[in-house]
Structure 1
Amino acid sequence: MNDTGRRILLGRVLGAFGLRGELKLESWTEPRPAIFRYQPWILRDPQGVEREVRGARGKESGKYLIGHLPDVLDRDAAEAMRGTEIYIPRAAMPPPKPGEYYWVDLEGLRVVNVDGTPMGVVTHLFSTGANDVLVTRDDSRERMIPFVQPQYVTSVDFEAGVVTVDWDPDF
């Protein structure tokens, strides 16, 4: 699988915390503090400006993380980062365990049902809390398929670039 240039969105800056440049962070890693294990971070501010940062550190605090970046030294600098997204290169992630997938690796794969009917391409995935949902798009429509194996997602073949699903193409 070619992951050159691919990135994974791990979290975002919610705003300033305190007076010394600490940041209130939202993390989508599991467990949440694992976000600090993956470095360097590629920070993308709301205007689309990106920069790479190393040395991010922090701790859990209630439902958020409190983080510190080496070049953010006061509350004004921290507040200016509100809305900044935190990415890492896909190559910085360890290989997934057998039967597990990083969502970013599924994006772009073709989707067919068990009868071979094309059902579009994976555009993204999201979590509902109960299960993850695979979103596909073709020329005419978008479909949302529960990512439940093997009930609805029967196979993922990275070499062929295909996800096979047991799902009615008209649904």
Structure 2
Amino acid sequence: MRKNPSHLRKRQLQRDNTGSLPLGEPVFLAVGYIRRPHGVRGEMVMDLLTDFPERLVPGKRLYLGEEHLPVQIRSVRPALQAMLIAFEGFEDRDQVAAFRNQYLYVRADELPPLPEGEYYHHQLLGLTVFDQAGHSLGVLSEILETGANDVYVVRDEQGREVLLPVIEGVILEVDLKTHRLIVNPPEWL
């Protein structure tokens, strides 16, 4: 994964399909997407949606589908550009066929803390963005991964977008306690 400026590095876990707490924090974050059964012993092909696949280990509790069915990993192993995963109590292909095309989640309150200056995407989305003079530019509504650096999409009340490159000198301060992001917009804005 690319590094943002040292004061803004983050990890992406999830892009969509989460519930929300009253304060806007997701209850569950998607770490995988179950595509289809594989073989006859209950394994399934899973696309990874996490930067931390090493945390998906046998015995780990996850939550499956929109109902957040608790499941425990029986086995997990790499397979080409995906993973093969199996759950305790689901030993054959017929039992896991119903899990096709469902997201696999972790609880947000069980996430390990990141080092100082690193943030999960769900912590940044929804922050109110201000320039150095204290003028509101809108709300951080999306994070684009472009290759060179991430880009924050900020939308104001009229729906206009401002695109801010996540580079040192533009993104100045993240304050999760006050729900604010302080930026120095590029001159072309």
User: TM-score, normalization: structure 1?
Assistant: 0.80
SS of 2:182's equivalent?
strand
Which residue identity does 1:143 align to in structure 2?
V
Unaligned runs of 5+ in 2: 1-22
SS of 1:54's equivalent?
strand
SS of 1:80's equivalent?
helix
Structure 1 residues 143 and 11, CA gap change in structure 2 (3 angstroms): farther
How far has the Cα of 1:116 moved from its partner? 2.1
User: Is 1:88 matched with 2:106?
Assistant: yes
| Partner of residue 42, structure 2 | 21
Q: Provide the C-alpha distance between the structure 1 equivalents of 2:153 and 2:70, rounded to a whole number of angstroms.
A: 30
Q: Note the 1:1-171 alignment, pairs <5 A.
A: 6-36=27-57, 39-44=60-65, 48-140=66-158, 141-148=160-167, 150-167=168-185, 171=189
Structure 1 residues 56 and 166, CA gap change in structure 2 (3 angstroms): farther
Q: Provide the C-alpha distance between the structure 2 equivalents of 1:8 and 1:78, rounded to a whole number of angstroms.
A: 21
Superposed CA deviations along residues 112-141 of structure 1, whole A, max 9, x for unmatched, are 122322122223324233322323322212
How far has the Cα of 1:85 moved from its partner? 0.9
Which residue identity does 1:51 align to in structure 2?
L
Number of equivalent positions: 166
Superposed CA deviations along residues 49-101 of structure 1, whole A, max 9, x for unmatched, are 33122235301122111111113322233332222112211121111101111
Which residue identity does 2:119 align to in structure 1?
Y
How far has the Cα of 1:168 moved from its partner? 5.3
Contact 1:27 1:35 in 2 (8 A): no
> What is the root-mean-square deviation in Å for CA atoms of aligned residues?
2.7
* Range with greater deviation from structure 2 (160-169 or 89-98): 160-169
User: TM-score, normalization: structure 2?
Assistant: 0.74
